[in-house]
Amino acid sequence: MYPSAVQDAYRAELASIRDKGIFKEERYIHSPQAADIRVEFPSGAELKQVINLCSNNYLGLSSHPEVVAAAHRALDERGYGMSSVRFICGTQDLHRELERKLTEFLGTEDTILFPSCMDANAGVFEAVLNDQDVMIADRLVHASIVDGMRLCKAMQDTYKHTDMKHLEQKLQEHQDKRGRLIITDGVFSMDGDVAPLDQICALADKYNAMVFIDDSHATGFMGRTGRGVHEHCGVFGRIDIITTTLGKALGGASGGCVSGRKEIVELCRQRARPYLFSNAVPPPIAGAALKVLEILNKTTERRDKLEANTKFWRQALPEAGFVIKEGDSPIVPIMLFNAKLSQDISRDLYQEGIYVIGFFFPVVAAGQARIRTQMSAGHDIPMLKRAVEALKKVGGKYGILGLDKKGIIEKYGQ
């Protein structure tokens, strides 16, 4: 039974999403994931070859031949699926091997795999904290962390984005709790800025708190050998809980993990519900992820190329007359402040062969609309130069080149 009143309400909700201009549509990619892809958009339209500036394929490993071959090998040797959760009969040697290699790579004590990092974040807080504890999160942490915190009985608090004075105040306020957990993203996914982990760890030591980071937008490339933001900030080995993903730089398929203090990982293995009640990543993904780590342990070539591309891009965009968010990461937002402008420009860029997406409230703060661009080791400088030319052409059409924040807002509103 599908009551018509319910159906009508759903239709009205969908219509309202469309009216607000925030209806999400998928674009179909007819090629492997890469820096240069063939896209069908809108549905049924002729395929278009575009430069991809919006994937999390930071190291260009999503379709790397050695990674694909490793997935094939694991498929042949260990099969397709597990048909069981981990603790019944769903754990292969490959899964434990991958956990060991991730532990080494991240510089922690132990690791537990989850079906995704979203699941890791959904499960970890509830598994290790109770109502005697407090979670103190940066206000711009990823939505999956917010969801995970909501599932946990510990007290919730937040601090202003990367504001260490405010964090310190909160730590002082919560000295009566059994445990304090500071929660932050390593690299913030919308702004591309980096959490000041050195200062966060110093505060954690001073106020007897643990530190949690979600390093999904950093694992594999931030830091000199790509270990993540803890390496980048000089606090490798000092983070109590790291969650991260295999779905971005590390091959980009799916899967995530909680890595950190061994008791915390062990508690997750006993209690974390997404781990207990869903299957592990399938063998081809485990096998391919092991290959990715092997590649990254052998050479920093890919993260070095990503760093060079990022440096070029972060210099080229302001030179072309765009306002960007400063930072060190390959996430480079082009600030447009106005939601409609971000939609119009991303649509025009697609026609010019550049695939980017506009983001606006509520995904980012009101009045902070932007196009988020992301660098990859799969890009090369000539490709990026072509992208800059297209951006200049479209930016010129809208008359925003050389305008600062105030200028753009005066012209288009906020």
Partner 1 sequence: MKDVILEYIKNEYLDEEEAEDMKLDENTPLISSGIVDSFSMVSLKRFLERKYSVSLPDDEATPQAFDTVSNIIVLVNKHRKGA
Q: Are the CB atoms for 383 and 36 separated by under 8 Å?
A: yes
Tokens of 279: 């299957």
Least distance (Å) from partner 1 to the CB of residue 146?
5
- Residue 14 or 366: the one with the smaller Cβ distance to partner 1 is 366
Q: Are the CB atoms for 146 and 298 separated by under 8 Å?
A: no
Residues 137-166 that bind partner 1 (CB under 8 A): 137, 139, 146, 156-158, 160, 163
**List 217, 232, 291, 325, catalytic entry:** 217
**List 189, 329, 346, 376, catalytic entry:** 189
- Residue 64 or 174: the one with the smaller Cβ distance to partner 1 is 174
The number of residues that bind partner 1 (CB under 8 A) is: 12
**Whole-number Å distance between alpha carbons of 57 and 306:** 10
Identify the DSSP state of 111. Answer: E
- Residue 24 or 165: the one with the smaller Cβ distance to partner 1 is 165
Is 15 a residue that touches partner 1 (CB under 8 A)? no
**Whole-number Å distance between alpha carbons of 26 and 358:** 14
- Residues making up the chain, counted from first to last: 414
User: Of 377, 379, 390, whose CA–CA distance to 320 is shortest?
Assistant: 390
The stretch near partner 1 (CB under 8 A) out of 125-133, 200-208, 361-369, 373-381 is 361-369
- Residue 156 or 225: the one with the smaller Cβ distance to partner 1 is 156
Tokens of 354: 């550049």
Q: Any catalytic annotation for residue 217?
A: yes
User: Of 167, 240, 242, whose CA–CA distance to 206 is shortest?
Assistant: 167
Query: Which residues sit opposite 279 in a β-bridge?
Result: 85
Least distance (Å) from partner 1 to the CB of residue 336?
17
**Whole-number Å distance between alpha carbons of 55 and 163:** 29
**List 95, 101, 174, 248, catalytic entry:** 248
Q: Any catalytic annotation for residue 4?
A: no
**Whole-number Å distance between alpha carbons of 258 and 240:** 10
**Whole-number Å distance between alpha carbons of 89 and 82:** 8
Least distance (Å) from partner 1 to the CB of residue 212?
16
- Residue 163 or 304: the one with the smaller Cβ distance to partner 1 is 163
Least distance (Å) from partner 1 to the CB of residue 345?
22
Is 409 a residue that touches partner 1 (CB under 8 A)? no
Q: Which of 46, 362, 382, 406 binds partner 1 (CB under 8 A)?
A: 362
Tokens of 311: 């440096």
Q: Any catalytic annotation for residue 248?
A: yes
Least distance (Å) from partner 1 to the CB of residue 365?
5
Tokens of 173: 């306020």
Which amino acids are annotated catalytic? Answer: 189, 217, 248
Where does this chain bind partner 1 (CB under 8 A)?
137, 139, 146, 156-158, 160, 163, 361-362, 365-366
